[in-house]
Amino acid sequence: MSLPLEGIRILDLSMYLPGPFCTQILADFGAEVIKIEELSGEWGRKLYPVIGDKSAIFYAVNRGKKSVAINLKSETGKEIFLRLAQHADVIVEQFRPGVMERLGLGYETLSKINPRLIYCSISGYGHSGPLQYAAGHDLNYLSLAGVTSLTGTRNQPGMSGVQIADIAGGSLQAVSAILLALLAREKIGRGQYCDIAMLDGAISLLAYSLAEWSGLGRLPLCNGEFITGGYACYQIYATADGKYVSLGAVEAKFWQRFCERIGRPEYIPYQWDSTRQEEILADIRAIMAGRTQQEWVDYFADEDICFTPVLNLEEMIQHPQVRDRNMVIIMEDVQGSGKNMVLTGCAIKLSHTPAVVKPVFPEIGEHTEAILQEIGYSREEIIRWKEEKILA
């Protein structure tokens, strides 16, 4: 079976989460992803916690890749990278603006030696604007984007337990940009520069929220609006065993059936009456606290009303829907450590060319010699450069 990205070579200089997760998705669909690492390895290899001799975080986003370790601060290292770039389709980097240019490895330089090269930069704020050189992390991007103000309970912004800006704003936007640029290359005959900002990506997630704000004529700042806990029909309820269930009965038919099933048909006309929500919420909370989570799941099992348990990660990976979709991969007894590693599967499902997930992870510089010999360097040169600390 031929995968969609077979024959596409990607040089990945990124670290931690946004870039590596992007290139992992591309690797799942056949791209040859070569991690270009420092001699001591990508910084993500050292993050806590560790399973075996690798960071659990590194396992999460680096499957199916190769590794070439180069000292890019040396002149020889830069020359080696330039030759690698001549044989590449895509470069992904995640440094702050200006870093690659100072190394002499920016898009303008590389596009001259390889006009078909697609060069994707992932950064917090993009390569323009007053914040382009500023440091930041997921919380900062979400806060500036307005997402944090919408995420929480009444009048109190909440911190997300998932890296929304990093993944949805960075990784997934970068995947889209690279695939679009590859498609465009077939039409225009050359590559292009992709400028991906995690702040931009986070703002793009606000399509519905901005529309709601425009329609309401006021800011929905964690103050009990529709999606932030203000209405009984779209709510999280505690159960008798200290667990939770979620109700997303937005449509009238779902709300009607829910009210009937809990013995409160009198609440049906007041689904969107903001003056009645405090009263309705208090009563339904008391009702839901009368049974355990599983008892409620069983009670509503035959009802199509958008009702689900709130699962923790241990429960999620065992759920039959998750297992059926191959959305978790369990590596047992990693490196004889006695610990299992749980990885995400590939969320993109294609009927004829599905992803091939290979839970194989490169050692630092594992493929340096093979790849450099492939592009014309001799074994003697490679051995000498290793001794000179240009390669690892």
Catalytic residue among 12, 166, 200, 367: 166
Amino acid at 309: P
186 close to 116: Cβ distance less than 8 angstroms: no
Could you give the C-alpha distances from 107 to 31, 102, 187, 194, 372, in angstroms and in order?
A: 21, 12, 20, 10, 22
For the chain, the first-to-last Cα distance in angstroms comes to 34
Q: Are 9 and 31 in contact (CB under 8 A)?
A: yes
Q: Is 302 annotated as catalytic?
A: no
Residue 341 parent element (H or E):
strand 341-344
Amino acid occupying residue 206: L
Any residues with CB less than 8 A from the CB of 61 and at least 6 apart, and which?
17, 20, 21, 24, 44
- The question of whether 333 is a catalytic residue gets the answer no
DSSP character for 194? Answer: E
User: Could you say which of 137, 241, 273, 333 is catalytic?
Assistant: 137
Would you say how long the chain is, in residues? 392
Q: Which residues contact 152 (CB under 8 A, 6 or more apart)?
A: 158, 222, 228
Give the active site residues: 137, 166
